[in-house]
Amino acid sequence: MNPDQMKLVLLIPIISIVIVAVIGGGVGFIFIGVDKAGAGEWGAIVIGLALVVLVPVVAFLLERSFDKNATG
């Protein structure tokens, strides 16, 4: 294994942990903000449901868009 590969072996897991922590913290911050704004549990339910529904829909649309671009 050359030195560049060793750097990647260490760097990729660290970057992925940081990204997951930032996303988790951001989502937590959103839920806390919704609760403080007065929406309470129902606000959290609506945001959670939107995440559950919208994330796969956006992923599907992006995948379909990239497939169209790849095939011509």
pLDDT in tens, 7-30: 889 999 999 999 999 999 999 999
Residue 40: its pLDDT value, please? Answer: 83
Phi–psi pair at 39, nearest 5 degrees: -75, -25
Q: Is the pLDDT of residue 4 over 90?
A: no
**27 in a domain, yes or no?**
yes
Q: How far is CA 3 from CA 6, 7, 11, 12, 16, in A?
A: 5, 6, 12, 14, 20
**20 in a domain, yes or no?**
yes
What is the reported pTM?
0.65
pLDDT in tens, 29-69: 999 999 899 888 899 899 999 999 999 999 999 999 888 87
**1 in a domain, yes or no?**
no
Which residues are CB-neighbours of 41 under 8 A, at least 6 positions away? 35
**9 in a domain, yes or no?**
no
Number of structural domains the chain divides into:
1
Task: State both tokens at 30.
Answer: 């959103």
Residue 15: its pLDDT value, please? Answer: 96
**3 in a domain, yes or no?**
no
DSSP code for 38: T
Which residue range forms the structural domain that includes residue 55?
A: 14-71
38 vs 27: CA distance, rounded Å: 17
